[in-house]
Structure 1
């Protein structure tokens, strides 16, 4: 469905956004050509996908890939007060929608039926028939807050329809709703609080420069924890009196550190805080509000764990704190007895965890989401008395036999300056001789590749017989703040050495073919793809850039205003001549004459993070040298491809591209060509 061809009134009915806002968007779109790339045209049968240089998908490829594309996941949104209803986001049609599950492995009852995905939602704790959720249009990430009444199935828009909103939170007593929003000036994110019985009457409780986000209400709803976020390594925690608006900073004004999670105790007198302020890894601390900010380093409650604490969830009675750690990419679950201070592990499948949540009226069960390298994200509930987990959802994987999927090998290899790069290596099981390799770079840059299910990686390994190397280069999250900071600002130039180290590692493995290497990545991973093609041109054959950065200065100038300062903290301020000089030197656009690999660029027209101009300037620059470039532009997508029909097509085209340029080993069975 092409939203640009529908009337604003019809789209308004479908999305809940004001028709006036949609009319303005339609007028702006109509006045502009969708692309500056010559020869681009709508894909037959999918008018929202524009392509240039992309061949048609062979029927035999389409047939085999389709099963892998039918994998779905159950993402945990919330749990009802009594723990008997689990709210999930999952996809049965084109996009993720809200569903309720009322018993272990029970039916998923769909609650929303909209063309746009929903990936954030909360129950009203006092009435599970009322939900609040966030939703945008066309992948633009200008999320709006909606209220859904399950009794009549109607959704009501609560926010202005044009500003960006995030970080939805509802108080346990059911009286207050909080979220972040850019309504004041379109640049800064303030915290808004609204009564749930009159949610359109929101008021700002912060009004300051930067990004401020709500984290957690006190049990009685009288206090609200908010985070002032400046960068991944620079955030502060504040507490706000909901009634008076009085705000007090709880973290020290000197120094800096992360705020990975926070929770107020039921009596509202203390707060549990996860931060890396006092060490290389994020640890758990307890602060007394009347003594905050602390004058000295508080004792760590997780000093026995030498990895990041990633998330925490406090039980309603305050006696148990659940925490998830990230240990070399794998999640582990622990529970802390808050009275005795004892920490004990809870056995869960070896994989990657998602959200943790207690029912607001129970402290004996904890719900969590988890994915493994062979299974998609699903929801479990653990009985904390027995430590036994019960599976609540079982998501489909297209009818495939997942026992044939590849378990990645965790490897480490050396780079420059004493850096050791951790990576996951997926090796095809049946092979004879050297196999081609695809390097997959994560985004972020402060992201992390982890061993959860990737049907993309599995198809490459199982069906195409290609190895997949997934590195966490310096600057990645999960390995301590010193490692994360190694690519900040002008140090990004040194981080490019990790590309060379990855290629050297491939050459060191006798079963890998260093002469047949491709690279794939999205967002910052797209930048790494283009940097590989530009600065290591002799060592790769194919490059797939998904919503990637081609020039650091133009990216920083053109990204949305609400995130520009956040990105300058990571990449450096392009307005400073000495910084810009380095950024220009390591921008692939300025080394386009060196690119030799075949290039496939993929972009969403509504991307607020990495704008369409980043994709099109690299496409045109490479083509100006006479090279062939595949280009695919989705008019109804943003920072990535969220709609199934679009995602299916671009994924199949990617496999076609990689097989064309890397080939499959002759001894590998199951090749689709």
Structure 2
């Protein structure tokens, strides 16, 4: 039988088959159940994963204005081959980030994976770059699985159970061992797993303890593994596990607490270099022995750098320790000579540094990612002999001229308790008269706003003519552990004063219009956004809350089990009546009657951190008092919008919202009907 004969055979069979007796028409299919309890929510035409209530259509003219900005890309360094000739990166050419390889500076970005979900963490198998291990989740739920890609076949193999959550990927230098963390034991605690790369499904737990544990690095011979126990941003410990016996030895002191930002083995395997703020206000680099009691006060190897050291990477010959410092939000690269302990700066383009990587067989160059206000995240290398920096990727910005983008001004302004809040202020070029302002709060809460590239910020500043202010309120990372701890637990109430200080700063600047202020934030930044409109109602016109917390007690009760204790360490334990009383007092949900500003809430339905209920309870409470609220829900997203179609609409509608409420009716109508400015 040939394929060509099939239609004829089908038609003959139909002719020979008696016609069925008349019957009742089948019942109409049941309407899909709405993924939300918010009245009036419905899927957007042509976008079945996006549901909206109260969000008007985007004017075509606005879509046209923002399109180029939203085509901006980025390239994140994930790994480098031993000879330094291939860079493994994550970048987007379609809807989400995928794995690509670049084989020469500014060469083609060859795509390796073609999945519907983003991939942002991966490692080569040392000695065989045809094999790649990577992490991927589904629908933004953050229940990441470990997969193995064979580049020769293009096929991926699932290595983990498909249901519990996994994080971190570490591969031994000899390529024999793979380590990751996972919640498979009980769904709550995160253990460390080690598997032979030859049989990666044969993983065994090397920690089986309450809490959150993660692997950091294998020793040179693969016999030991550094692991970190994370309890809070200010409370981590570093241990080493003997993989032959599973014996675990804590390297940081058992008394007191401090962060563990990064750690690597020394070249001789007898010690570790660790970046921690245990002995100082900032995270500095120390050398700790593998045996014996931890020193009470080891000498700092980076004492001259009065900022946090965020990243460490040891050269293959053990002679150079590359360290990246976070200086007022900007990254600075240094080299520590491990023999003389001399520390010297390495000049790189000004920006935010991350993902340091030495090729495993080369000590003369180091690769890194870098971004700035005008440069999307891209991959660079620096030759440590010639000090020459080479750019490996040049991510597009939609054909726009980066020179037209706005550079921020670093400012500081006073708040209560002697606090001076650092912030980045983006002022539109050639502004005339007072300009409206959007205050953008970062997440975390132990996050930090840095001068990295943001299409959304540049759209607001260059297209809408809005000023954008990014404050690092107390509790932010990057300014010392004392500053970071100033909002812990019930002290968070005092941090609300920094909102008032931010608004006072806006009023103090003659070029800013304190009568037209909007606020925008995601996650904890969403909490700060809601807190701003609830506790400073008369000073805000419009607010966009993205996956934000509306009630601290309900957030802590409903966040995923594997995160709950970690978050209680930061926000306080809601089961304590005294703590809960403060949490309820500073929760925006309890003060919705005070909200006057227009409100737009955006949420991912699969968010494991801040559940959908946090968004919907505030939407319904504000509507109950008679105010209009826009609500956008993505059913295939989690903690934030990663898929391009969803992210584009979320950002475009946010711009439409601010244009309407901060630029006045004339400006809003003009952009929709007559092409805008």
Q: Secondary structure of 2:609's partner? A: coil
Alignment of 1:212-611 (within 5 A): 212-294=213-295, 296-611=296-611
Tell me the distance in 1 between the aligned counterparts of 2:412 and 2:216.
Answer: 35
Whether 2:57 is the aligned partner of 1:48: answer no
Give the aligned partner of residue 18 of structure 2.
Answer: none
The 1-side partners of 2:278 and 2:336 are apart by 21
Match of 2:644 in 1: 644
Tell me the TM-score normalised to structure 1 length. 0.94
> Which stretch shifts more, 137-146 or 426-435?
426-435
Bigger-Rg structure (1/2): 2
Deviation at 1:31, TM superposition (A): 10
- Cα deviation, 1:36-90, whole Å, max 9, x if unaligned, reads 1011000001010000000000000001101000000000000011110000000
Is 1:191 the counterpart of 2:199? The answer is no
Instruction: Please list, as runs of the form range in 1=range in 2, the aligned pairs for 1:132-211 lying within 5 A after superposition.
Output: 132-211=133-212
Distance 1:606 1:346 in 2: 43
Distance in 1 between the 2:252 and 2:417 partners? Answer: 33
Contact 2:285-2:309 at 8 Å conserved across structures = yes
Measure the CA separation in 1 of the matches of 2:391 and 2:602: 37
Distance in 2, Cα, partners of 1:78 & 1:32: 43
State the Cα distance separating 1:33 from its structure 2 match. 4.4
Distance 2:429 2:663 in 1: 17
Distance 2:316 2:614 in 1: 47
**Whole-Å Cα distance in 1 between the matches of residues 220 and 73 of structure 2?**
35
Question: In the aligned structure 2, how far is the partner of 1:142 from the partner of 1:293?
Answer: 36
Shift of 1:665: 11
Structure 1: distance between partners of 2:297 and 2:508: 45
1:672 and 2:676 are equivalent in the alignment: yes
2 CA distance for matches of 1:664 and 1:242?
A: 65
What is the Cα deviation at residue 672 of structure 1?
2.9
Check the 8 A contact 1:463/1:672 in 2, yes or no. Answer: no
- C-alpha RMSD of the superposition: 1.5
1:344-367, CA deviations, whole angstroms, 9 ceiling, x for partnerless residues?
101111110120001112111100
CA distance in 1: counterparts of 2:442 and 2:196, whole angstroms: 40
2: CA distance between counterparts of 1:291 and 1:411?
A: 46
Is the Cα–Cα contact under 8 Å of residues 145 and 166 in structure 2 kept in the other structure? yes
Q: Residues 547-569 of structure 1: CA distance to partner in whole angstroms, max 9, x if unpaired? A: 00000000000000000000000
Gaps of 5+ in 1: 1-29
Give 3-state SS (helix, strand or coil) of 1:424's partner.
strand
CA contact 2:660–2:667 (8 Å) conserved in 1:
no
Residue 100 of structure 1 corresponds to 101
Matched residue SS, 2:350 = coil
How far the C-alpha of 1:293 sits from its partner, in A, is 2.0
- Mean alpha-carbon deviation: is it higher for 385-394 or for 42-51? 385-394
Query: How many Å separate the matches in 2 of 1:574 and 1:288?
Result: 40
Alignment partner, residue 632 of structure 1? 632
3-state SS of paired residue (1:555): helix
Which residue does 1:88 correspond to in 2?
89
Q: Secondary structure at the match of 2:252?
A: coil
Take 2:43 and 2:455, find their aligned partners in 1: how far apart are those partners?
A: 27
- DSSP-derived class of the 2:583 partner: helix
Q: Which whole-Å CA distance do the structure 2 matches of 1:489 and 1:42 have between them?
A: 39
Q: Deviations over 1:372-425 (max 9, x none)?
A: 110101101111111111111110000001111100000000001110000000
Q: Is the 8 A contact 2:490 2:582 kept in 1?
A: yes
Structure 2 residue aligned with 1:16: none
State the distance in 1 between where 2:322 and 2:227 align. 21
1:13 equivalent in structure 2: none
2:251–2:289 contact (8 Å) kept in structure 1: no
SS at 1:180 equivalent: strand
Number of residue pairs the alignment of both structures matches = 643
Q: Within 2, Cα distance between the matches of 1:656 and 1:412?
A: 30
Aligned to 1:66: 67
Residues of 2 paired with 1:474 and 1:290: CA distance? Answer: 38
Q: Is the 8 A contact 2:324 2:354 kept in 1?
A: no
The whole-number CA distance in structure 2 between the counterparts of 1:181 and 1:586 is 34
| Cα shift at 1:430 | 1.4
Match of 1:5? none
Q: Cα distance, 1:270 vs. partner?
A: 1.0
Task: Tell me if structure 2 keeps the 8 A contact 1:223–1:268.
Answer: no
SS in structure 2 at match of 1:350: strand
Q: Provide, for residues 289-338 of structure 1, a one-character-per-residue CA deviation record: whole Å limited to 9, x for no partner.
A: 123422x2000000001110111101111110000000111110001110
Deviation, structure 1 residue 667: 11
Query: Cα deviation per residue 1:213-265 (whole Å; 9 max; x = unaligned)?
Result: 00011111111000011000000000001122111000100010000000002
